[in-house]
Structure 1
């Protein structure tokens, strides 16, 4: 399934949940628990809407650029102005 298919399926499930909560409210009445479930359903709808907005458009997926790192050692001059980590400077003694 594609992302869009999954989003549509989730939306259909949320719609069915909303209808079920409506039906439940008719049987149980407007109780605190039903209001809590309705609020949770509304939060899920809002979250799904945000996912839909953030979803990339359908089309070919861009491949990340591959950065090749050479196997040869780094140039030692890159490290001439730094201390050996945890050992102190070259011209001083460690504690």
Structure 2
């Protein structure tokens, strides 16, 4: 299995674990030391998995799309000869 697939599978399992921890918190309450430790450990696992995902350069490139630069120069006006001005109506007609 590829690294991406392994990390995705681990994330899916961790999401399920976090759902179970939330259910346990609802049943047992979140005030006890044991429940707080379980919640902190689950959160730490989530952060560690995110760090692993960010550490892999192939995955980091896959997440970030390439930026497209848009020039500041005005567009050629001949591109818009067949369109109406939005909200102003056509040039050769009058408003009702």
TM range (shorter): 0.5 to 0.7
Cα RMSD of the aligned pairs, angstroms, is: 1.2
- Size of the alignment, in residue pairs? 58
Distance 1:37 1:7 in 2: 22
Distance 2:54 2:41 in 1: 20
| Match runs of 1:48-59 below 5 Å | 48-57=49-58
4+ aligned runs moved over 4 Å, structure 1? none
Aligned to 2:40: 39
What TM-score, normalized to structure 1?
A: 0.58
The Cα of 1:49 is off from its aligned counterpart by 0.6
Distance 1:17 1:26 in 2: 14
SS in 2 for 1:16: helix
Larger Rg: 1
Aligned to 2:18: 18
What TM-score, normalized to structure 2?
A: 0.57
The Cα of 1:56 is off from its aligned counterpart by 3.5
Distance 1:9 1:55 in 2: 16
Structure 1 unaligned regions, length at least 5? 59-95
Q: Which structure is higher in helix share?
A: 2
